Amino acid sequence: MCDENFAVTEMNKLLNNSKWFKTKSLWRLCNPLQDLPNGLDHSCATFFIIVGCKADPLFDDALHFHNELTKVKANALFVQPNASHALGHLFDSKTSKVIYKSLSKQFS
């Protein structure tokens, strides 16, 4: 039988001592919301396309990521293909059109 509190404590120790956690730029790869860069509201900032497939277990994470980007006024698009994986938009023509139209606006 596993003691949940012990497991969480041990996982936190491992995380806190990992080189990923101690290096800001590496940790941003694991948890981009932990350290959003400044200037995401600038007109020349990166355009984010967040794909949150409705049947994906990470849908809530994608939605949360989009909401946090929106709070800092980043240029972000959230699309929800009828699929179970991030590449699902390739099989959902309606969502693909939204993505392509948004991308074309960024480069015009």
Per-residue pLDDT of the chain (108 residues; tens, 9 = 90+): 566 788 888 888 888 888 877 787 777 777 888 788 889 999 889 899 998 888 888 899 999 999 999 999 999 999 988 877 767 777 778 888 888 898 888 887
Same domain, 25 and 68: no
Domains in the chain: how many in total?
A: 2
The domain in which residue 19 lies consists of: 1-35
* pLDDT score recorded for residue 82: 81
pLDDT for 87 equals: 74
How far is it, in rounded angstroms, from Cα 56 to Cα 37? 27
Q: In terms of domains, do 75 and 53 share one?
A: yes
Is the separation of the CB atoms in 46 and 73 below 8 Å? Answer: no
**Residue 2: what pLDDT?**
63
pLDDT value of position 44: 87
Residues 90 and 49 in one domain: yes
Q: What's residue 65's pLDDT?
A: 93
What is the rounded CA–CA span in Å between residue 41 and residue 69? 9
Q: How far apart are CA 63 and CA 80, in angstroms?
A: 9
Q: 68-71 — which CB contacts under 8 Å span 24+ positions?
A: 68/33, 68/36, 69/36, 69/40
Q: Is there a single domain that holds both residue 4 and residue 45?
A: no
Question: Is the domain of 43 the same as that of 26?
Answer: no
Q: Are residues 45 and 28 in the same domain?
A: no
Within this chain, do residues 47 and 69 fall inside the same structural domain, yes or no?
A: yes
